[in-house]
């Protein structure tokens, strides 16, 4: 059973990653700007004092504009390092190179439980289904992080259009998200 689940996840992951690699850079940049504007309009974000987010890497939808806009608004922004230990974003100069091409905050680490203080959580995903099941990169880090987030806190996955799919293979440890943001489709609230 576990092998079949892993194979199904790997197949979907490979399809999405191949599609993302085929997106032109200008299209990815435009999607990042649209996602920034869409997320900034969320009512939950208007009232959020603390937002946990992430710095996009590779072909992920860009998040740097969103993170900067939140910071300029006076929102307390938490960003993870490669182990999902959270630190405060203090502006663009506060990011330093980390492992595997990641940018991470240079400041003092607040611990893996710091995500519990967030009023809204923005997470990466390769695909989401209508039940909120999320396909990530396969390490389980964000599933562990999301397990710490209370049920009343909005968790939003950033996707490209077409990545809200009929079904994402999921196991017991997989944590759902409550919404998906897509550049052309806006916000989709999930079951």
How many domains is the chain partitioned into structurally?
1
The CATH number of whichever domain residue 15 belongs to comes to 3.40.50.10420
Question: 100 or 50: whose pLDDT is higher?
Answer: 50
Q: What is the pLDDT of residues 80-91, one digit of tens each?
A: 998 899 999 999
The pLDDT value given to residue 1: 57
Predicted structure pTM score: 0.94
- Phi–psi pair at 78, nearest 5 degrees: -105, 135
Give which of 101, 126, 112 is closest to 78, Cα–Cα: 112
Q: How far apart are CA 58 and CA 114, in angstroms?
A: 26
Residue-range definition of the domain harbouring residue 144? 2-189
Q: In what helix (H) or strand (E) does residue 40 lie, and over which residues does it extend?
A: helix 25-40
Beta-bridged to residue 154, according to DSSP, are 120
From CA 131, how far away is CA 118, in angstroms rounded? Answer: 22
């Amino acid at each position: 059973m576990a092998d079949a689940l892993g194979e199904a996840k790997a197949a979907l992951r490979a399809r999405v990653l191949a599609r993302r690699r085929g997106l032109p850079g200008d299209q990815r940049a435009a999607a990042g700007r649209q996602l920034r504007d869409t997320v900034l309009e969320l009512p939950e974000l208007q009232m959020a004092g603390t937002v946990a987010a992430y710095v996009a890497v590779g072909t992920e939808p860009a998040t740097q504009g969103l993170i900067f806009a939140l910071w300029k608004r006076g929102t307390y922004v938490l960003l993870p390092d490669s182990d999902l230990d959270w630190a405060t974003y203090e502006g663009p100069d506060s990011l330093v190179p980390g492992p595997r091409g990641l940018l991470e905050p240079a400041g003092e680490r607040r611990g893996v439980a710091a995500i519990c203080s967030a009023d809204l959580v923005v997470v990466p995903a390769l695909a989401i289904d209508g039940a909120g099941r999320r396909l990530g990169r396969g390490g389980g880090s964000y599933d562990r992080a999301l397990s710490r987030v209370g049920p009343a806190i909005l968790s939003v996955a950033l996707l490209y259009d077409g990545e809200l799919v009929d079904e994402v293979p999921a196991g017991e440890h997989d944590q759902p998200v409550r919404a998906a943001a897509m550049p052309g489709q806006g916000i989709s609230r999930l079951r």
